[in-house]
Structure 1
Amino acid sequence: MFVGICAAILMGIVHHYALSGILKFSPQRSDGSGFRIILTFSALLLLHVLELVTLAVFNTMVVASVLPQSFSNSPPMFQDVLYVTGISFSTLGYSSIEVVGPFRLLLMLQSLLGFMLLTWSATFLYSACQQVWQKAKDD
Structure 2
Amino acid sequence: MWLAALINTIIVTLSVLIHYEFLYRATNLLPKVRIKHRFRILSVVFIALIAHVVEIWLFAIAYFLMSKDKAWGEIQGNFDGSFMDSVYFSFSNFTTLGFGDIEPFGSIRFLVGMEALVGFVLITWTASFLYYEMQRYWDAK
Could you tell me the TM-score, scaled by structure 1's length? 0.84
Corresponding residue for residue 114 of structure 2 = 109
Name the count of aligned residue pairs.
136
Corresponding residue for residue 29 of structure 2 = 25
Q: 1:35: how far off?
A: 0.7
List structure 1 runs of 4+ shifted beyond 6 angstroms.
none
Percent of aligned positions with the same letter in both sequences? Answer: 26
Q: Name the structure, 1 or 2, with higher relative contact order (CA <8 Å, separation 6+).
A: 1
Partner SS state of residue 91, structure 1? coil
Corresponding residue for residue 72 of structure 1 = 76
Corresponding residue for residue 66 of structure 2 = 62
5+ unaligned residues in a row in structure 1: which ranges?
none
Whether contact under 8 Å (1:5, 1:109) holds in the other structure is no
Corresponding residue for residue 17 of structure 2 = 13
5+ unaligned residues in a row in structure 2: which ranges?
none
| From 13, 16, 34, the counterpart of 2:38 | 34
Distance 1:100 1:24, change over 3 A: same
Q: Which moved more, 1:63-72 or 1:101-110?
A: 63-72
Partner SS state of residue 71, structure 1? strand
1:43 equivalenced with 2:47 (yes/no): yes
Whether contact under 8 Å (2:67, 2:73) holds in the other structure is yes
